[in-house]
Amino acid sequence: MEQFIEWISQPWPWYVAGPLIGLTVPILLLVGNKSFGISSSLRHVCAMCVPANIPFFTYNWRKEMWNIVFVVGVLLGGFFATTFISNPDAIVVAESTQRDLAALGITDYSKLLPAEIFSWENLLTGKGLLFFVFGGFLVGFGTRYADGCTSGHAIMGISSLQWPSVVATIFFMVGGFLMTHVLLEPLMKMVGF
């Protein structure tokens, strides 16, 4: 059992993790004719919890209970992994990335997310407003506007040869590059980094 815990707590190589992620698509399609995606589960939860007669939430969400169970499993698995089997080694960040982040005031790599940005102390500050509220709004808006999230489009949509998913994934990537190389530095300076 100790060897299993040691093995599972290490980063998995791409040739193991990639096929496992990739195989979810044909398994979901073959076993239950289901499509993979995370963002649709929010719609199912809202349909389950909001009793109003809002047309967008009026459908048989019980047919999609597997998706809610999947997301609960992702959350519980993430909690279990970070609490009990997290890798004790320091996060490996490339030196060039460390230099770029240090120029923005980010130097703490002891956790998965930089503490200078993602901490409870920052929640009610300009940083918190920018990264948590405004960033969360943009992610939610983009997900709804693109009719799905990165996992749904990039994993499920592209593998099932859906042209809208190819376009959405291209624009997800363009948005990420634009944010990283053009907008991040001015935004960080605007909120006091």
* Same domain membership, residue 130 and residue 71: no
* Same domain membership, residue 97 and residue 60: no
In this predicted structure, what is the pLDDT of residue 163? 93
Phi, then psi, of 131 in degrees rounded to 5: -80, -40
Tell me the pLDDT band of 171, cut-offs 50, 70 and 90.
very high
User: Of 86, 116, 143, which residue sits at a domain end?
Assistant: 86
* Same domain membership, residue 186 and residue 98: yes
User: Of 51, 86, 121, which residue sits at a domain end?
Assistant: 86
Residues 126/7, Cβ–Cβ less than 8 Å: no
Residue among 74, 11, 92, 2 nearest 38 (CA): 74
Q: What percentage of the chain exceeds 70 in pLDDT?
A: 100
Question: Is-above-0.85 flag for pTM?
Answer: no
pLDDT in tens, 7-57: 777 778 889 888 888 888 888 888 888 877 788 888 888 888 877 788 878
User: Of 55, 86, 117, which residue sits at a domain end?
Assistant: 86
Mean pLDDT over the full length of the chain: 85
* Same domain membership, residue 104 and residue 165: yes
Neighbours of 54 (CB within 10 A): 10
End-to-end CA distance of the chain: 46
Residue among 111, 118, 150, 148 nearest 135 (CA): 118
pLDDT in tens, 58-81: 888 888 888 888 889 989 998 988
Is the pLDDT at 174 greater than 90? The verdict is yes
Residues 69/76, Cβ–Cβ less than 8 Å: no
Whole-angstrom Cα distance, residue 116 to residue 107? 8
In this predicted structure, what is the pLDDT of residue 182? 93
Q: Structurally, how many domains does the chain consist of?
A: 2
CA 138 → CA 78, 106, 114, 172, 192, distances in Å? 24, 23, 20, 12, 21
Q: Which domain holds residue 187?
A: 90-192
